[in-house]
Amino acid sequence: MRATDTLIHARWVVPVEPDNRILDYHSIAIDDGRISAVLPSAEARQSFQPRVNLELDDHCLIPGLINAHTHAAMTLLRGVADDLHLMDWLQNHIWPAEQKWTSEQFVHDGSQLAIAEMLRSGTTCFNDMYFFPEATAKIAASGTIRACVGLILVDFPTTYADSPDAYFTRGLALHDNYRNHPLVKCAFAPHAPYTVSDEPLRRVRMLADELDLPVHMHVHETASEISDSVMQTGQRPLQRLADLGLLSSALTAVHMTHLNDAEIRQLADSGASVVHCPESNLKLASGFCPVQTLIDAGINVALGTDGAASNNDLDMLGEMRTAALLGKAVAADASALPADVALRMATLNGARALGIADETGSLTVGKWADICAVDLGRIETQPLYDPVSQLVYAAGREQVSDVWVAGQHVLKSRELTHLDIKDLLQRARGWQTRISAGDSK
């Protein structure tokens, strides 16, 4: 009998890698935070002597979900301005609110609220882009969740930094602080082609090459972003990024709702990843990302919720469902974007986009034990003919029972083990009172 830290026995294990197999009655062993074995439960019971043993009779184990694009702290602006056009929403509501309220404390409280919501819905890793990323990194590093923290960059001054130079200085210091951290890594995060000019973008490219970091950026979110760019620079944004040397496998291009055939080929050739945010794109009427076409072209497509201010939740199970449903309608093909592809987008493809596919994104021996258990025994997911279909098309976030991040049991029978919900709620309500009083809405 081999000693092991944790042994989880599940009705199903869906490892995602190497292929779409569904393992019946399998177990996962965890040692030193990493997956040490995936094997039939009958065999596991005979081979392992676990310190912690967990029986999940009606559950499916999947890789922890990877939210490949969000602005965690914006949970504090959830629902503050809905049913508005993107530029009205940004220019007249979100940006003024951010200018007024964003601070280290705002980002701390908002990120913590977001992390609680994400863990409760099975997300074990998120790719963030927001001001005061130091606050977000600190909370993630305290052991609750894996994060790729964006080194935010815009041309204009904010409460966070007053010039491109200042953004770079703060960002590089942050990256230096978390070098080789087991949970936190950094990415450059120039906000969008229309908010960052050529000079700082050239510097991003140079530094990203030097430090081997991903570049996380909104690209081609709306048709008007493209037509404005053509008017101002004579170029579509993607071509401008290509000319600046940013179109490479380091690029994680978010949204991409408007693409012509040549751009799709160019993207595929570059090895860049696309992050699809279907609910945000729908809510802001930004357009439809041609996901199945991108996948067919060989592009790595990951999945993100975007921030809670334009979604309005951080629920990756729901996002998978929306992606799978919408992908069929957009492709005009009901066999497009099947359930297992949606699950892969929300796990392994996310890890690939963030450059951490060797560390997480599938239930593979040697990777970190980033695991999500979903209870499929409820009436909402019965009867059950295919667990992956139930996960994507019928399961709700409330069916996520347990979550592990690097082997830490961070959600235990629906209870967060590292966060104080009561305190979180109190702080969220404090912000609500202040923001409501100060907002003209």
Tell which residue, 51, 49, 61, has the closest CA to residue 9. Answer: 61
Running DSSP on this structure, what letter comes out for residue 178?
Answer: T
Asked if 441 and 93 touch (Cβ cutoff 8 Å), the reply is yes
Shortest distance, position 272 Cβ to a copy of itself, whole Å: 24
Min dist CB 149 to a copy of itself, Å, is 21
Q: Which is nearer to a copy of itself, 244 or 384 (CB)?
A: 384
Residue number, 201 or 391, with CB nearest to a copy of itself: 391
The rounded distance, in Å, linking the Cα atoms of 76 and 103 is 12
Closest approach of a copy of itself to the CB of residue 107, in Å: 15
Query: Of 234 and 383, which CB lies nearer to a copy of itself in the complex structure?
Result: 383
Output 210 or 385, the one with its CB closest to a copy of itself. Answer: 385
- In the complex, the smallest distance separating the C-beta of residue 55 from a copy of itself, rounded to whole angstroms, is 18
**Quick one: 89 or 368, whose CB is closer to a copy of itself?**
89
What is the nearest approach in angstroms of a copy of itself to the Cβ of residue 77? 8
Of 430, 389, 363, 384, give the one whose Cα is nearest residue 37: 363
Q: How far is the CB of 424 from a copy of itself (least distance, A)?
A: 6
Task: For residue 252, list its beta bridge partners.
Answer: 216, 273
In whole angstroms, what is the distance from residue 197 CA to residue 412 CA? 46
Nearer to a copy of itself, 153 or 372 (CB): 372
Q: How far apart are CA 130 and CA 115, in angstroms?
A: 14
- Cα–Cα distance, 103 to 135 (Å, whole number): 9
* Separation CA 237–CA 344 (nearest Å): 28
Q: Quickly tell me which residue has 């239930």 as its tokens.
A: 363
Q: What single-letter amino acid sits at 230? A: V
Contacts with 32 (C-beta within 8 Å, 6 or more apart), sequence order: 5, 407
The residue written with tokens 């599940």 in the block is 10
CB of 100 to a copy of itself, least distance (A): 15
Least distance from C-beta 382 to a copy of itself, angstroms? Answer: 5
Q: Which residues of 184-197 are buried (b: 16+ CB within 10 A; e: fewer)?
A: bbbbbbbbbbbebe
Shortest spacing between CB 330 and a copy of itself, in angstroms: 9
β-pairing, 2-13 with 23-31?
antiparallel
Instruction: Give the nearer residue to a copy of itself in terms of CB position, either 229 or 310.
Output: 310
Q: How far apart are CA 380 and CA 285, in angstroms?
A: 30
Round to whole Å and give the CA distance between 275 and 67.
9
Nearest approach, Cβ of 118 to a copy of itself (angstroms)?
A: 10
Strands 23-31 and 34-40: antiparallel
At 164, list the tokens.
């491109």
- State which residue, 140 or 395, has the beta carbon closest to a copy of itself: 395
Comparing CA positions, the residue from 218, 242, 349 lying closest to residue 291 is 349
Nearer of residues 303 and 331 to a copy of itself, judged by Cβ: 331
Task: Give DSSP secondary structure letters for 20-71.
Answer: S--EEEEEEEEETTEEEEEEEHHHHHHHEEEEEEEEEEEEEEEEPEEEEEE-
C-beta of 83 vs 212, nearer to a copy of itself: 83
Residue 385 structure tokens: 């003919």
Nearest residue (CB) to a copy of itself, 37 versus 80: 80
